[in-house]
A and B are shown apart, each in its own frame.
With several copies, the nearest count.
Chain A
Amino acid sequence: MRLFEFEAKKLIKDEGIPVPEGRMAEDVSGVKKIFSELGGAPVVIKSQILAGARGKSGGITFAGTAEQAEEEAGRLLGSKIREFPVKNVLIEEKVKIAEEFYLGVTIDRMRYKIVLIACAEGGVEIEEVAKSSPEKIKKLAFDANEDFYPHHGLVIARRLGLSGDKMKEFGKIASKLFKAFKKYDAKLLEINPLVYTDDGRWVAVDTRMSIDEDALFRQKTLVELGVEGRHEEGELTPRELEAREAGIPYLDLDGNIGMFPGGAGMGIASIDLITDLGGSPANFMDSGGGPTPERLARMLKLLVDNPKVDVIFGARFGGVSRCDVFAEGVIMYLKDEKPEKPMIMRMTGNMWKEGLEMFEKAKAESPGLFEKIKIYGIETPIEDVAKEAVEAADEISAGKGVVR
């Protein structure tokens, strides 16, 4: 879960890492005052959105006078940068850059290590440097129970060719960054660029931090920052927000087939299945993990209510999430909401026969509800069921005059 730049900067500043002097603004009314508080010198105005490449996208701007600052802040506030609405801006002193470094901490999942990474060529092109000149990227790897000692900071600074006080101060910043990484259960914490100024100071000009949502239970400071329920990047669509509030792992896609596929793995695989057959999924969903009938009904409603969705494709493999419970949830939904959209589903696994019988019984009771509903069992291959869903969706699309 990604933090806003101003949040990340606050956290590393609290650890003692120097950041530019700055203030937040939600509207233009205070901007002139902020400008003078920052010393009346040129400032940088940075839109606070959860996305990278803000500079290239016009999300970062500069001002030399209070009037200019107000104008530029006003231009950013309320605008959209990379489709993300700018709700507030960070106004900071403009740092006089002599050199730009990269310094980051992350987890190497392959080796189960915490890795400190540094490069003497910071800035936005750091990934290019990593590809074209990997020898310029310096790394130190730590086991989870290994402490970061002062010499680690010096070693990585030396590998970058630093010396004297410049090396020592860089080492201290590395030490503090590593400490903050562990303290906040971070998955990523990087300073880019870490600037060495004209007058011989280190300043963290931009900072990115992603923290582990699963560790929030022990992160009082982060919870107080209000980070719960955020995306890694960007913001949630209204439907994604609705899903998150209901506790359903869900992502919007562009297509017209509502995907109701079981666990996360099958959620991804069924997107391949539909796409390979020429269909176009409307979403990713993880409906596994043993949901209750009520929850299954809620999931189905989320899909059907999406105006883009023409057809529902369902694939239930009854494990923890048993087919009888699945049938109960689907029938509950059908009775409550009487949806008009076709649903093409397959059930197999635990209790699939019982589930099919429940559908038969419900259909016998209210045949009207089942006019557009097809339920297959273990004997029909999933590829056939998917194909039927794709064909049904194409037909409806064609009827609407949509070419896919």
Chain B
Amino acid sequence: MSILIDEKSRVVVQGITGGAGVFHTKKMLEYGTKVVAGTSPGKGGHEIEGVSVYDTIEECVKEQGADVSVMFIPPRFVLDGAIEAIEAGIRLLVVIPEMIPVHDMLKIRLAAVKKGCTVIGGNTAGLISPGKCNVGIMPEITFKQGRIGIVSRSGSLNYYVADTLTKSGLGETTCVGLGGDPILGSTFSDILPMFENDPQTEGVVIVGEIGGVYEEEAAGAIKKMKKPVVFFVAGRNAPKGKRMGHAGAIVEGDMGTADSKIRAMKEAGAGIAYKFSEIPGLFGSKVGTGR
């Protein structure tokens, strides 16, 4: 098992005829991901890497049974494309582009919650269930099917953590890159219960970053989990970030620093890793070693 994507996922690539669309369609197909369709309005009827191109996602869903979509389109078109995917019944939408207007992300989240769609990103490298399905732009090299789920804001840290887990023999069930934009389609709290409910996942690594409040907010979800959680945060030594005015302070209080995140995670019962290499050990005997 895994979460969100597996060997049955039927993926549509939004913006398949662009440079990045073509390149990553090829990469995903090589990995074994079932890329079943692509969209490019006005170019319906063409083919890219053997994949049929349609004008609308509605057609990809109806004719190819697509249920996952990954976007390679300019940020200003993400809102329209995301609402289209959500309305068409896509259940997982992966937003690769970065620099999406925050007001647009609010609208996307609202539509997604209403229709029960999970949106990942923007500014994400995507997600991978090793050996089954890779949706986005993550390099497959460090990932190996195994026992641990990873949920990370950063793509690059995701790789380092997976590398560590793979080398330790634990391996990964699914690695989810939440994305680097200030407002994300999904948060740690949204993903953690999925790992908790996934029979194959034995533990979860949360990879956080300074800024924002998504790590602190995750504490509630962690407390509800039986599976062990390890937390790694980047930015303990970063210069103190600038506040978004008084309103930011009023809404987010003292949250957003590495300290506040570590404190919240500790309090919720997560193990805290200060180096990548500490991560496997923190699961201790709670998960099988798999060696």
Q: Could you tell me which A residues sit within 8 Å of B by CB distance?
A: 52, 102, 104-110, 112-115, 117, 126-127, 130-131, 137, 143-145, 147, 149-151, 154-155, 158, 163-165, 167-168, 182, 185, 187-188, 190, 192, 208, 210, 212-215, 217-218, 232-233, 251, 253, 261-269, 271-273, 275-276, 281, 284, 288-289, 317-320, 348-350, 352, 381-383
Contacts and interface: CB of A to CB of B under 8 A. Distances in A.
Given A149-B79, A268-B209, A137 B152 contact: no
Given A163-B55, A269-B157, A320-B137, A215 B250 contact: no
Interface string B118-155: 00000001000000000001110110000000001111
B10 interface: no
Given A104-B247, A185-B101, A265 B152 contact: yes
Given A167-B55, A272-B236, A349-B139, A214 B247 contact: no
Interface in B91-133: 98-104, 106-107, 109-110, 125
A213 B103 CA distance: 12
Contacts of A185: 101-103
B153 to A, nearest CB: 7
Contact of A265 (B57, B101, B209): B209
Nearest to B59: A158
A268 B154 CA distance: 10
Nearest to A182: B103
A102 B251 CA distance: 14
Interface stretch (B195-203, B223-231, B263-271, B274-282): B274-282
Greatest chain B CB density within 10 A among A167, A210, A269, A320 is at A269
Nearest to B81: A151
List 7 tightest A-B contacts by C-beta distance, closest first: A265-B154, A263-B156, A144-B106, A215-B101, A275-B237, A269-B234, A106-B247
21 contacts: A52-B245, A109-B183, A109-B213, A110-B217, A112-B109, A117-B247, A117-B250, A158-B55, A190-B245, A253-B239, A264-B154, A265-B209, A265-B234, A266-B154, A271-B235, A275-B236, A276-B237, A289-B98, A317-B139, A317-B156, A350-B141
A144 B141 contact: no
Contacts, number: 227
Nearest to A273: B275
A389 B32 CA distance: 39
A11 to B, nearest CB: 15
Contacts of A352: 141
Interface stretch (B1-9, B37-45, B283-291): B37-45
Given A167-B55, A269-B157, A143 B110 contact: yes
Interface residues of B, number: 75
B251 A149 contact: no
B166 to A, nearest CB: 11
Contacts of A165: 42
A130 B249 contact: yes
A318 B75 contact: no
B65 interface: no
Nearest to A348: B163
Given A105-B247, A164-B42, A214-B75, A266 B156 contact: yes
Contacts of A151: 41, 56-57, 80-81, 83-84
A144 to B, nearest CB: 4
Given A190-B246, A265-B209, A319-B156, A149 B55 contact: no
Contacts of A110: 187, 213-214, 217, 252
A130 B250 contact: yes
A112 B214 CA distance: 11
Contacts of A317: 139, 142, 156, 159-160, 163
B246 A265 contact: no
A299 to B, nearest CB: 15
Interface in B237-269: 237-239, 242, 244-253
A164 B120 CA distance: 30
Contacts of B213: 109-110
Interface in B61-88: 75-76, 79-81, 83-84
Interface string B169-213: 000000000001011000100000000000000000001011011
A154 B56 contact: yes
Contacts of A253: 239
B42 to A, nearest CB: 6
A383 B157 contact: no
A346 B260 CA distance: 31
Nearest to A151: B84
B84, B100, B138, B251 interface centre (most CB from chain A within 10 Å): B251
Contact of B76 (A102, A158, A163, A217): A217
Nearest to B181: A214
B106 A112 contact: yes
Residue with the highest number of chain A CB atoms closer than 10 Å, among B45, B104, B125, B244: B244
- For B55, B80, B180, B209, the residue with the greatest tally of chain A CB atoms inside 10 Å of its CB is B55
Nearest to A171: B41
A192 B249 CA distance: 14
Contacts of A150: 80
A273 B98 CA distance: 26
Contacts of B274: 272, 276
Nearest to B258: A272
Contact of B156 (A130, A155, A284, A288): A288
Nearest to A262: B156
Given A117-B247, A289-B98, A317-B160, 15 more contacts: A104-B250, A106-B248, A108-B251, A112-B106, A112-B110, A130-B250, A131-B253, A137-B250, A151-B57, A158-B56, A188-B247, A210-B245, A215-B101, A251-B239, A264-B156
Contacts of B154: 263-266, 268-269
A130 B250 CA distance: 6
Nearest to B140: A350
B63 to A, nearest CB: 11
A214 B84 contact: no
A157 to B, nearest CB: 8
Tell which of B41, B104, B250, B253 has the most Cβ of chain A within 10 Å: B250
B187 to A, nearest CB: 8
A104 B246 contact: yes
B103 A212 contact: yes
Given A212-B101, A264-B154, A266-B154, A272 B237 contact: yes
